[in-house]
């Protein structure tokens, strides 16, 4: 699906896990995605959106209970891995960039 979207010129967000395949099997696909991303000048970002987190489920139930639609949400995820090597992850050209409130490289 990612390749189809990139070929169509669409920026892509992929929720974790990206694959359940071992790295040696999945790596050729990742390289193909990266080549197409560069060629098209698009962003491919991978993240964990907490879609099924209990807090998200609670927010959804409260909204449903009160019959109101979501009009906006602002949240910041604080990464606990300050020493993580992330040259692609927090690079605006490759992943959409880091959170603007986090000034670390």
**Residue 105 pLDDT class (50, 70, 90 cuts):** very low
- When comparing pLDDT for 101 and 6, which is higher? 6
pLDDT in tens, 56-81: 788 888 888 888 776 666 665 555 55
20 SS3 class: coil
- For the segment 76-88, the average pLDDT, to the nearest whole number, is 57
Greater confidence (39 vs 51) lies with 39
> Is pLDDT larger for residue 91 or for residue 54?
54
Using an 8 Å Cβ cutoff, are 1 and 8 in contact? no
- Within its chain, how far is the Cα of 8 from the centroid? 19
């Amino acid at each position: 699906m990612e390749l189809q979207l990139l070929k169509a010129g669409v920026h892509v967000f992929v929720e974790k896990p990206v694959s359940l395949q071992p790295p040696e099997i999945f790596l050729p696909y990742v390289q193909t995605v990266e080549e197409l991303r560069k060629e098209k000048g698009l962003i491919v970002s991978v993240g964990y959106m907490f879609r099924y987190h209990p807090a998200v489920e609670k927010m959804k139930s409260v909204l449903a209970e009160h019959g109101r639609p979501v009009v906006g949400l602002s949240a910041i995820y604080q990464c606990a891995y300050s020493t993580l090597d992330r040259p692609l992850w927090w690079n605006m050209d490759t992943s959409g960039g880091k959170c603007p409130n986090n000034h670390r490289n």
